[in-house]
Amino acid sequence: MPLMTDTPNGVVEADKFGHLFGYPIKHSLSPLMHNTIFQNIGLNWHYSLLESLDMSQFLKLTKDPNFYGSAVTMPHKLAILPHLDSLTPSCREVGACNTIYLRTIAGVRTLIGTNTDVIGVRDAFYANVSDPDSTFHDRPAMVIGGGGAARSAVYALKKWMRATRIYIVNRDDVEVAAVIKECEVRGFGEGLLHVRTPEEAEGLEGPGAIVACVPNFPPKTAEEVRARGVIEVMLAKEHKGAILEMCYHPVVWTEIAEASQREGWKVIIGTEAMIYQGIEQAKLWTGLNTEELPVDKVHKAIADELAKGQHA
């Protein structure tokens, strides 16, 4: 029998419920994506935002028999780990959880944490680049940023995308050192190089894949100008590859995306990574495979939302 639950859009009737747990998350397109999936595969399930800092509130929801799973975002990706029954290898290796799903193991209801952010990075490239061999396989790659998204990008590039080495560019040297150290500790830090200056970038082989994990803003400080200079040198190199611009809020087309397109790079917008990590979540929650999920309809729903101008 369908149950009633309160959501930010009012009371909803559904058989099962899931959430995006984080703060702040009002801009998220995740509910549109997952509710589009459920509607098109005939499941009376509902997905809503849980914009909260209250871990105990969320953990109470996970015990509901009608809870099918959850997405987890900042600031909870690390804090949730001790509360889970089991972690997948990707979750352990990256050290962050963005997805919770349920399984019954030896008759016991088990909360499992995984990381689909890394899948989102990988699949965004392979779904949008027709010839990975000539574009980014067996070449250096580059990550712009120094936070959690940068760690996920390094993992995807190293584990699945055949990067020979990975350049890291960021305005904050301390953040880069922390990324490199953590990746080394977790077993995927070999071949990481902090590229500090445009002069250093001039002497390096050009990357084939770039993942940009920073907000969209014009460089102002000396450190920001220096980092942007490194990016410009890399974009100007003879080999033109593909760049995934993870930032899509408040604008989809960023300064880095514009510069990349101007230099002849294939630009993949950030909603692509969001969609493909969400497809992986839906597979875990529903038990269906990618071919059984309405990927095209999800793309259309997100594109239509972007066309309204809220995120464009």
Token pair, residue 50, equals 């849980």
End-to-end CA distance of the chain: 40
Note whether 166 and 136 are within 8 A (CB). Answer: no
DSSP character at residue 290: G
CA-to-CA distance for 120 and 149, rounded, in angstroms? Answer: 11
Q: How far is CA 161 from the centre of its chain?
A: 16
Of 26, 60, 63, 77, the active-site residue reads 77
Helix (H/G/I), strand (E/B), else coil: 93: helix
283 in catalytic set: no
Note whether 44 and 12 are within 8 A (CB). Answer: no
Q: Please report, to the nearest 10 degrees, the dihedral formed by the alpha carbons of residues 206, 210, 212, 218 taken in order.
A: 30
CA angle 151, 23, 35 (to 5 degrees): 90
Whole-number Cα distances in Å, 209 to 144, 205, 221: 11, 12, 27
Q: Find the DSSP H helices in 46-116.
A: 55-62, 89-94
**Catalytically active residues, by annotation:** 77
